[in-house]
Structure 1
Amino acid sequence: MRLLRKSKMKRVKNPTNVKIITPAYRLFLQKQARAEEEELQNSFTAMFEKARLSGVLDLSKKDLATVPNCVYNIYKKNKKNAIEETITKFEQLYAGMSIFELNLSKNKLQHISADIGNIEPLTRLRLNNNNISSLPNTIDKLRRLASVDLGNNKLTELPCNFYNLVNLRNLVLSKNSLKHLDDGIGKLVYLEQLDLRYNKLSALPNCLGNLKQLKELLLSFNYLTTLPPSIGDLCSLDKLEVTNNNLTCLPMEIGRLLHLRYLCLQHNQIKNLMPIVGCARISELYVANNLIQKLPLRFGQNLIVLNMRRNKLTELPRDVGNMKYLIRLDISHNKIQKLPCTLGTLKFLLTLNFEGNPINAIYRDLRVAEEPRAYSLITRSHSAHKFKMISSSDHTEIFLQPANHKGCITAMKTEREFGGANFASRSLSELPIEFEFICQCALDLDLMDRPNSPLAPPFIQHFMNIKRMNLSHNNLRDLPFAFSVLTKLNELNISVNQFKHIPAGVYKLHNLKVLNASNNKLISLDFSASGFEALENLRVLRVRANKITKIPVQLIDMKNLITLDILNNPLLQPPRNVIMKGTNAIRNYLKFNKRLL
C-alpha cells in the first residue's frame, strides 16, 4: 500500500504551477534570511561605529528602498519614557551620537519619511541618484543644513517649507523635473552655489536677485527664453552657465556682474553680445552654436579662452589684438573671410582654430595720417578651403586632409612644436591659408632671425621650428615671400609643380641644406649674391627634368654644394659627358672655361 501510495503521489500534477516549498527548503530560506539580516546588521554596526568617530554616516550604494528607522532615531536620547519602547537595542547603543553629514545617495529611495526632521544637527544631506518624487514638510526642521544634494531624482516641485532652510550655502537640484521655482528661493540669501541643470524651467523668478552671495549659477539644459533683469543684482557671481536653452537675447543688466569670470552660453539663439561688455573680468567665454554676427569692440582684455565656434561671424575686429592674455581661440565654422594679422601679437596664444571659414584674405592694420587703414596681403578663391592642416598622432608632423575629414587633431590646436610638414599630392595651387597666415604673422613680428622670441605667440613658435617641408606633386607656381620666415628649414621639396623660377623667399632660408626642385618649368638658375649664393649651407640641389639651358659660372663659388642633379635638361653647356661625371666635374669644367663662358 505504501509503495502504491508513493507511486500515485508521483503522478499528481500541479496545474497551477505553484512552487511547492518543502520543510527542508523553508528551513534553508530562514537560515539564509537570518544570515543576510545578520550581515546587514554587522554592516550597519560598522558604518555607525565609523560615523561615531567621523560624524559622517555613509549609506550610499546600499540598494535601500527605505531609510532604516534607526537613522531617524539616531538623536533620540536613551531616556526611560514611552518612546524608549519603540527603540531597538541597536538604536539605544547609538542614540545621541553626533552626525553632521548623512549620505543616502545612489539607492532606490522613493520617499523620505517625515521623521527626517529628527536629525536636527545635520549640516550636509545627500539624497542624489534616487527616485524621490517629493520631500516632507518637516525638512525645514533641519535648520543647520548648509549643503543639500537632490540631483538626479524625480522632483517636480519643492515644498514651501524647504525655503526656510535659510542657512543653505550649496543646493543641487539638477536632473529633476522642476518646471518652476517659487519666490521662496529669494529667502536663501546665504546661497553660494545653485545647480538647476537638466530640468524643465521656462522662467526664473525675479527674486533670484536677492541671492547677493551667490557665486555659481548653473542653468544649462532647461527651456529658458530669457534671464530676469534681477540677475544683474548677483554682485558676487563668479560663474554663470546657461547652455542648451532657448535664449535669444541677454538682459542689459548682466553687464553689472563685475566679478563674473566664467560665462557659458553655448547652444542658444543669441545674436548680440553687447550686454556683457561691462563684465570686464570675464576670463572664459563660451558662446559656440549661437547666431552671433560680430564681437563687441573694446571687449575681452582679460579673456583667456574664447570659443565662438559655429556662429555667424563675418569678421574679427582689428582690436582682437587687445586680448593680450588669450590662450585659446576657436572661431571655426563661421563666415569669416579675412584674418587680421593682429592675432600674431597675442603672445600667449597656444591654440587657434579657424577651420571651416571661407577665408580669402589676410590683412593687417596700418596707421596712415593717424587713421587705421586695412589692406589685404593675399586673396584666395574658395577652392583654397578644400583641405585643413592636421597634426600627426605623435604631433611631430603636419599634413593635409579634406576639409570635411573628421576625427583628426587640427594642427592649429596642437600645443607642441612640429618637425616637418607634408603637403604633397594635394593638387594645391596655393599654400594652405592657415599656413600662410602664420608665416605672415611671423613676418610682421620680424621673427625671421629670432623665431623663439618671447614676443611670438606659442601657436606661431610651434611652426617656426619646422625643419622638413614637402610640397611636391602639386600645382604651385610661386610661394609667398612670407615663406622666408621658416629660417630653420633644412629640407625643402618643391618637385613636380609649375615653378618657372625659384621663389624669392627660398633664398632667405639660410639653414637650407637640401632643395629638390625637379620636374618643374625652371628656365634658369640664379647663383648671384641674392640667389643661391645666399644659401651658404646648401649641400644638395636637385633640378633635373626642367628647361634649364646653362649653368652659371657662379656655381664655382658654392664650395659647400656637394650634389648638383641637373640631368634631363636641354643644356647647351656643360656637355652631357661632363654632367654625368658629377658635381666636381661640372665645377672644374666651369673653372677651365670661365673666360669663354
Structure 2
Amino acid sequence: MSRQAQRRPNRGGRGGFFQNQGAEQQPGTVHHSILKQARKSGVLNLSQRGLSAVPESVWTIQEDTPEEARVVSMDNNEDKWWDTVELTKLILASNTLSCLDEKLGNLSALTVLDVHDNQLTSLPKAVGSLENLQKLDVGHNNLSELPPHIGMLANLKTLQAEHNHLTELCEDLCSARQLEVLNVSNNKIASLPRYICLLSHLRSLNVSHNHLGQLPPDIGAMDALRIFDGTHNQLASLPDELGNLRKLEQLHLRHNRLQYLPVLRHCESLKEILAGNNSIAGLTEEHLQHLGAVTCLDLRDNKLQKLPEEITLLTGLERLDLTNNDISNLPLVLGTMTSLKALVLDGNPMRSIRRDIIMRGTNEIKKYLVSRMSDDEREKQCEKVQPSSVGRIGGGDNEVSSHDLYQLKALDYSNKGVSVLPDTVVEAALEAGVKTINLSKNMLTELPNNLSVLAPKLTEINIGINKLTQVHPYIAQFDKLLLLDLRNNQLSDLPAQLASLTVLRELVLSCNRFKHVPAVVYSLAGLEILFANDNQICEVNVEGLLKLQRLATLDLQNNDIAQVPPELGNCHWLKSLLLSGNSFRNPRPAILAKGTPATLEYLKSRIVT
C-alpha cells in the first residue's frame, strides 16, 4: 500500500479514491471521479494529497474528453457529462508543491486559488492572466517575492502571503486596486511601497512579524482601512498622517520600539489600541483628547510612570491594561469612569493603593479612588461630565439629563433603586433617539418590556448589578446591539433567541451563576469580547470557541475550571486570555504571568498528535 493510502482511509469520491473499483489511486494522479465532480461543481479540492506536482489532468480539465463520455448511456439522466461548468475554485493546499505550471492560465474562470502550505519558491506569470481571480492564498510557502503581475489582477480582493521569505512588496502590487484584505505577516519585509495608498479599498492590512522600521506617510490616505496590524516590527515612530484614517477601528502595535503614541486626530471610529511591549514613557492631553471612542487601550510592558487625569477623555474606555509599567499612583478621577470595566495593574510599584484593594478587581479600585476625592473634586468632575447649564427631564427619581439624551444619545438610569422603568423615561429616550441605555444598579428582575420601542436603535444595554434570573426571549428584537452587559445578576442560562444578535461585539456575563458558557454564545460569530469571570464555569468548550474567530478578549477568571484543554492553544486569534483564579494545575501561574501568547504557545505544545 502507498504511503498516501496508509495515511488516509478510504473516503470515497471526496477523498479521491476509487469507489467500488477494487484498486488504489496511483500517487500523483487524480481519479476521474474527482474530476467529474469538479466539472459539475466548479470546485476542485486536492488539499493534503501529498502531491509534489500538479497532475496534468488538472490543467487540462476543461479541454480533455472526460472519462464518463467514453461510455454513453442515454438512460442515465444523472450522468450528463456534457453539462459542465468552468472551474472557479482550485485548492491545492497542504501538499509538497515546489512550483506551478504556466498552464495555470488555462483556468481563466478561477475566482479562488489556494496553494497555502506548500514549498513554492515562485509563482508563474500565468497568475497575472487570471482576470476573474478574487482570492489568492500563497501563505506558508518559500516565496522570496511576489511577482509584479499580481498587480494585473483587477478583481483581486484578498491576498494572503503570510509565512514566506518576502523582503519587500513590489510597487506593482499597488495596481490591484480592488484589494480589500492583504496579509503579509511573518516575512522579512523592511519597508512598504510608497504608493500603497493606491489600495483605496483595503480594509485590513496585516504586516505583523516583519522588519519594518517606519511606515510611509501615504498610509494616511488609505480611506477604507479599518484594521492595521503592525505587531512585532521595529517601528520607532509612526507618521502623523496615520491620524487621518477616519475608518480605522483596530490599531495593533505591540512589540515595537515606540516611545510615544501618534496624535490620532481624525480616527473617530477607533475602538482598540494595542500598544503593549514598547517604550512609551507618557501620555498627554493631546494624545488622549481624540480617542473618545476607544474601548480597549493596551499599554502593558511600557515605561509609563504616570497616568494623566486626561485619561477621562476616553469616555468609552472599557478595558485599560497597564501591566508592567512604572506607575506608582493613579489619578482619583479614574474612579469616575463609569464605562471602565477592566483595569489591569499587575507589575507596577503601586504605593497609593493597597495591594488587597487591587486584588479585589476593577470596581473596588474605582470605589477606593472615588472615596479619596473631596466633595469639591467630585462635584467638579460631575460638572465636566454633565454641565449644570444643561436641563433635566422629569423630576425626583425620574430625572434624567437632557444633555445625555439629545447630545450623547444615551439614557443613564442607573442607581435609581427601581424595579420598573417608568414609561415617561422611555418616551423621552424614544423622542431623543437614544442608542445606549444604562440600567445598572437597580432592582430589576427582568429586562423591562417597555424597552422594546427602543429596539430599532439601541446599540448598547447595560443592565448589570440587578436581580435578573433570566433574560426574556424578546431580547431577539434588539438586533442592533453591539454590547450587552449582564454582570452581577442571578443568571444561569441565556435564551436561544440571543442568536439573533448577529452584530454583537461584546458580552459581559461576569458575576452570575453560570456553570458553563451558554451554547448560544458560540453562535455569535461577530463576538470580539467575552467576560465570563466570577461564575461557576467548570469547563472550557474549545469546540465552541473555535467558532468565534473574531474573539480577541476572553476572561474566564475565578471560576471552577479544573482542566484547560491543550486545544485551546489553537485559538491563536485571542489577544487577551485570562484564566487565573481557577483550580487547574496547568498551565502554571508562572506561564499565565507571561501573557496570552506564551499561554497559547504552551497549550499548543501539549496537543497530542
TM score, norm. by length of structure 2: 0.54
Q: Which residue in 1 is equivalent to 2:215? A: 227
Q: Does 1:47 align with 2:38?
A: no
The one of 161, 164, 167 aligned to 1:176: 164
> Which letter does structure 1 place at the counterpart of 2:240?
M
For the residue of structure 1 that corresponds to 2:312, the secondary structure is: helix
Q: Does the C-alpha gap of structure 1 residues 254 and 459 become closer, same or farther in structure 2, counting only changes over 3 Å?
A: farther
Q: Deviations over 1:487-519 (max 9, x none)?
A: xxxxxxxxxxxxxxxxxxxxxxxxxxxxxxxxx
Q: Does 1:340 align with 2:327?
A: no
Q: Which residue in 1 is equivalent to 2:45? A: 58
Q: For residues 277 and 263 of structure 1, what CA distance do their matches in structure 2 show?
A: 14
The one of 252, 257, 270 aligned to 2:240: 252
The one of 308, 312, 319 aligned to 1:328: 319
Contact kept? 1:344, 1:441, Cα under 8 Å: no
Q: Which residue in 1 is equivalent to 2:58? A: 71
The one of 248, 251, 267 aligned to 2:255: 267
Q: For residues 262 and 215 of structure 2, what CA distance do their matches in structure 1 show?
A: 15
Matches within 5 A, 1:438-517: 440=372, 454=439
For the residue of structure 2 that corresponds to 1:50, the secondary structure is: helix
User: Of Structure 1 and Structure 2, which has the larger fraction of its residues in strand?
Assistant: 1
Q: Which has the higher contact order (CA 8 A, sep 6+)?
A: 1
The one of 126, 129, 143 aligned to 1:141: 129
**Unaligned segments of structure 2, at least 5 residues:** 1-20, 73-79, 383-413, 420-437, 442-461, 467-484, 490-609
Q: Does the C-alpha gap of structure 1 residues 102 and 441 become closer, same or farther in structure 2, counting only changes over 3 Å?
A: farther
Q: Which residue in 1 is equivalent to 2:535? A: none
Question: In the comparison of the two structures, how many residue pairs are matched?
Answer: 366
- RMSD of the TM alignment (CA)? 3.9
Q: Does 1:112 align with 2:100?
A: yes
Matches within 5 A, 1:525-536: none
Q: Does the C-alpha gap of structure 1 residues 297 and 221 become closer, same or farther in structure 2, counting only changes over 3 Å?
A: same
Q: Does 1:122 align with 2:110?
A: yes
> Which letter does structure 1 place at the counterpart of 2:279?
L
Q: For residues 133 and 107 of structure 1, what CA distance do their matches in structure 2 show?
A: 14
Cα offset for 1:341?
Answer: 2.8
Q: For residues 439 and 148 of structure 1, what CA distance do their matches in structure 2 show?
A: 58
Q: Does the C-alpha gap of structure 1 residues 450 and 97 become closer, same or farther in structure 2, counting only changes over 3 Å?
A: closer
Q: For residues 112 and 128 of structure 2, what CA distance do their matches in structure 1 show?
A: 13
Cα offset for 1:196?
Answer: 0.7
The one of 242, 249, 264 aligned to 2:230: 242
Q: Deviations over 1:20-53 (max 9, x none)?
A: xxxxxxxxxxxxx993237997x73443343334
Contact kept? 2:49, 2:95, Cα under 8 Å: yes
Q: Does the C-alpha gap of structure 1 residues 54 and 348 become closer, same or farther in structure 2, counting only changes over 3 Å?
A: farther
Q: Does 1:292 align with 2:283?
A: no
Q: For residues 141 and 82 of structure 2, what CA distance do their matches in structure 1 show?
A: 30
Q: For residues 442 and 124 of structure 1, what CA distance do their matches in structure 2 show?
A: 64
Q: For residues 260 and 315 of structure 1, what CA distance do their matches in structure 2 show?
A: 27
> Which letter does structure 2 place at the counterpart of 1:354?
L
Q: For residues 195 and 70 of structure 2, what CA distance do their matches in structure 1 show?
A: 47
For the residue of structure 2 that corresponds to 1:352, the secondary structure is: strand
Q: Which residue in 2 is equivalent to 1:374? A: none
Contact kept? 1:350, 1:459, Cα under 8 Å: no
Q: Deviations over 1:194-222 (max 9, x none)?
A: 10100000111101111111111000000
Q: For residues 440 and 44 of structure 1, what CA distance do their matches in structure 2 show?
A: 77
Cα offset for 1:434?
Answer: 7.9
Q: Deviations over 1:347-377 (max 9, x none)?
A: 232211112222333xxxxxxxxxxxxxxxx
Q: Deviations over 1:306-364 (max 9, x none)?
A: 11111111222223223222221111211222212322333232211112222333xxx
Q: Deviations over 1:283-307 (max 9, x none)?
A: 0110001111222231310011111
The one of 84, 87, 90 aligned to 1:102: 90
Contact kept? 2:145, 2:167, Cα under 8 Å: yes
Q: For residues 320 and 182 of structure 1, what CA distance do their matches in structure 2 show?
A: 41
Q: Which residue in 1 is equivalent to 2:351? A: 360
**Unaligned segments of structure 1, at least 5 residues:** 1-32, 79-83, 362-379, 391-397, 399-410, 418-431, 467-597
Contact kept? 1:332, 1:357, Cα under 8 Å: yes
Cα offset for 1:180?
Answer: 0.9
For the residue of structure 2 that corresponds to 1:329, the secondary structure is: strand
Identical aligned pairs, as a percentage?
A: 30
Q: Which residue in 2 is equivalent to 1:525? A: none
Q: For residues 55 and 441 of structure 1, what CA distance do their matches in structure 2 show?
A: 69
> Which letter does structure 2 place at the counterpart of 1:97?
V
Q: For residues 119 and 28 of structure 2, what CA distance do their matches in structure 1 show?
A: 22
Larger of the two Rg values belongs to structure: 1
Contact kept? 1:289, 1:308, Cα under 8 Å: yes
Q: Does 1:153 align with 2:134?
A: no
For the residue of structure 1 that corresponds to 2:297, the secondary structure is: strand
Contact kept? 2:196, 2:219, Cα under 8 Å: yes
Q: Does the C-alpha gap of structure 1 residues 293 and 75 become closer, same or farther in structure 2, counting only changes over 3 Å?
A: same
Q: For residues 245 and 76 of structure 1, what CA distance do their matches in structure 2 show?
A: 48
Q: Does the C-alpha gap of structure 1 residues 450 and 309 become closer, same or farther in structure 2, counting only changes over 3 Å?
A: farther
The one of 178, 196, 220 aligned to 2:184: 196
For the residue of structure 2 that corresponds to 1:306, the secondary structure is: strand
Q: For residues 326 and 107 of structure 1, what CA distance do their matches in structure 2 show?
A: 46
Cα offset for 1:441?
Answer: 8.0
The one of 287, 292, 298 aligned to 1:301: 292
